[in-house]
Amino acid sequence: MATSRAQWSGRVGFILAAAGSAIGLGNLWKFPYITLENHGGAFVLVYLVAIAVVGAPIMAAEIILGRKSRQSPVGAFRLLAIGRPGGRAWTGVGYLGVLAGFVILSYYSVVAGWTIRYIVIAVSGTLGELAHHPEALQSYFVSFLNDPAAQVFHHSLFMAATIGVVYFGVGKGIERAAKILMPLLFTILVILAIYSVSTPGFGQAIAFLFRPNFSELTAGGVLEALGHSFFTLSLGMGAMLTYGSYMRRQDSIPFASFTICFLDTLIAIMACIIMFSVIFSFDFEVSKSSTILFTTIPVIFFKLPAGALVSALFYLLVAFAALTSTISLLEVVSSYAIDELGWGRHRASLTMGAAIWVFGVLSALSFGGVDVLSRFNLIGRDSTAGVFGTFDYLASNWFLPVGGFFIALFTGWILTSKASRDELEEGHASLSWSFTMWRFLIRFAAPAAVGVIIVSVILGAEYQ
Ligand code: PHE
């Protein structure tokens, strides 16, 4: 077992790595399309409330558990539950997190791989040709999904990049990657945002996002906003807990939690502004909203000047954002093997990465590439068709909310008030009323809200 645990070099390193985990396909691929499906305004408002009331307190809770225990999820729960009600049973929450990391990374890497293909075709000029004929782009995308070799190839590339970073460890791998990729990502995003202001659809995009119309909000939309707040902030499976276990004592947890939530939300909103500005500029008919990132956005980019450059930059941004998320997923699984099984980091990252890669091949082939895999439907709904659909459903609707629920219960009710207060105050000046507020949210508001999601899923609400 490692004697001295690796640490981030400082406050900025931790925040960039954790924000890198949070900001990913959830912000750039999923949030814009679910916002579109849920008619904007009111949905966005509910999402913002969910981030503030449920997401931010659980973010702080995970970091507290990690930094206090200096362990990955399984060890953290084992250590902190000693002599407390529930005892060792709490390690189950840690195991669920490791399983969630394994499952999410396996299919996430497949979608992330698509961005590599799009960077290549944007640069080679193929995307430009296709973009002038929307149907041609649509069928290109469909045949890409149906091509087993191409799917496995891009998934493999992305897994290799992920393993490559985690292999080098916390400081030389993850932190260094985040410090290079995150500023690049912000820069590209700002360039695209400035560009979107000049498009005719900008005003309409802002109105769509920020003018709430509550008659358009459904119960399913509220649940989806809540559920998504977990996924987008990387909560409920111990990713933030694991990153928190490398955090220095002199850095402030409240400040870090706030900043990570703020950056994640900012990027999600900016992604919507960019995409909706271009969509509204051309009054474009969006057929299947879950594929707008790959079938609609390019068409629109190429109607504007410098389409090739803009789209290449754009897919590069999505790939970077996805990579800083996939490394956090692999880190959870690898640090489990390092801390609990006593493996070395190289062995852990390579072996676990390879196992996840194999598992991910099932998802990669489930878009039409292999019939049994695309027809596989454990849950039996349209939205859960295929291995990919099943895993995504299980992870976002079950693993993360259930994990988050128990993390909130544990931190709010099992850990003593003094223990959590001491940890929150380390590296932070006096907390006074904000501790009381955080403790109220983590004990009551967060478990209640997440409990509602879980019960609705049990009752069969269709919301993803
Ligand atoms: N937060 C990431 C995103 O929005 C996904 C993720 C979920 C990463 C859970 C780590 C853990 O894309």
CA 133 / ligand 1 centre spacing (Å): 33
CA 462 / ligand 1 centre spacing (Å): 21
* Residue 235 alpha carbon, nearest atom of ligand 1: 9
Helix/strand/coil percentages in the chain, nearest 5: 80, 0, 20
Q: For residues 463 and 223, which has the higher predicted lDDT (pLDDT)?
A: 223
246 pLDDT more than 60: yes
1 pLDDT more than 70: no
Q: Where are the domains of the chain?
A: 11-458
Return phi, psi of residue 425, to 5°. Answer: -85, -15
CA 23 / ligand 1 centre spacing (Å): 7
- Best mutation site among 27, 29, 234 for ligand 1 pocket (most ligand atoms within 8 Å of CB): 234
CA 122 / ligand 1 centre spacing (Å): 26
| Section 379-392 average pLDDT | 79
Poorest-confidence range of 185-199, 265-279, 378-392, 444-458?
A: 378-392
Q: Are 130 and 294 in contact (CB under 8 A)?
A: no
- Closest residue by Cα to atom 9, ligand 1, is 234
| Section 144-167 average pLDDT | 97
- C-alpha to C-alpha distance for 285 and 299, rounded to whole angstroms: 11
Give the pLDDT score at 287: 66
* Residue 321 alpha carbon, nearest atom of ligand 1: 12
Question: What global pTM score does this model have?
Answer: 0.94
Alpha carbon distance, N-terminus to C-terminus of the chain:
41
CA 154 / ligand 1 centre spacing (Å): 19
User: Per-residue confidence at 2, pLDDT binned at 50, 70, 90?
Assistant: very low
Q: Are 233 and 22 in contact (CB under 8 A)?
A: yes
* Residue 325 alpha carbon, nearest atom of ligand 1: 8
| Residues at CB less than 6 angstroms from ligand 1 | 21-22, 24-27, 104, 231-232, 234, 237, 239, 325, 328-329
Poorest-confidence range of 6-20, 62-76, 391-405?
A: 391-405
81-126 pLDDT, tens digit each? 999 999 999 999 999 999 999 999 999 999 999 999 999 999 999 9
Poorest-confidence range of 69-78, 150-159, 296-305, 387-396?
A: 296-305
- Best mutation site among 232, 243, 333 for ligand 1 pocket (most ligand atoms within 8 Å of CB): 232
- Closest residue by Cα to atom 7, ligand 1, is 234
- C-alpha to C-alpha distance for 169 and 101, rounded to whole angstroms: 17
407 pLDDT more than 60: yes
Question: What is the 8-class DSSP label of residue 12?
Answer: H
CA 2 / ligand 1 centre spacing (Å): 27
Task: Tell me the Ramachandran region of residue 283: left when phi exceeds 0, alpha when psi lies from -120 to 50, beta otherwise.
Answer: left
User: Per-residue confidence at 147, pLDDT binned at 50, 70, 90?
Assistant: very high
14-27 pLDDT, tens digit each? 999 999 999 999 99
Q: Are 123 and 312 in contact (CB under 8 A)?
A: yes
Give the pLDDT score at 374: 83
CA 105 / ligand 1 centre spacing (Å): 9
Residues 6 or more apart in contact with residue 5 via CB below 8 angstroms: 70, 245, 246
CA 125 / ligand 1 centre spacing (Å): 31
Which residue from 59, 90, 320 is spatially nearest to 187, judged by alpha carbons? 320
CA 282 / ligand 1 centre spacing (Å): 31
Give the pLDDT score at 48: 97
* Residue 232 alpha carbon, nearest atom of ligand 1: 4
Give the pLDDT score at 462: 56
CA 322 / ligand 1 centre spacing (Å): 8
User: Per-residue confidence at 249, pLDDT binned at 50, 70, 90?
Assistant: very high
* Residue 239 alpha carbon, nearest atom of ligand 1: 11
Give the pLDDT score at 461: 60
- Closest residue by Cα to atom 10, ligand 1, is 234
- Closest residue by Cα to atom 6, ligand 1, is 234
Task: Tell me the two tokens of residue 285.
Answer: 């008919």
Task: Tell me the two tokens of residue 312.
Answer: 């290449």
360 pLDDT more than 80: yes
340-350 pLDDT, tens digit each? 999 999 999 99
**Would you tell me how many other CB atoms lie within 10 Å of the CB of residue 92?**
14
CA 20 / ligand 1 centre spacing (Å): 9
Q: Write the CA distances from 112 to 14, 53, 325, 337, integer angstroms.
A: 23, 30, 10, 25
Assess if CATH 3.40.50 describes domain 11-458.
no
- Best mutation site among 23, 58, 231, 241 for ligand 1 pocket (most ligand atoms within 8 Å of CB): 231
Mean pLDDT of all residues in the chain?
92
* Residue 233 alpha carbon, nearest atom of ligand 1: 1
Q: Write the CA distances from 183 to 63, 172, 180, 324, integer angstroms.
A: 23, 17, 6, 12
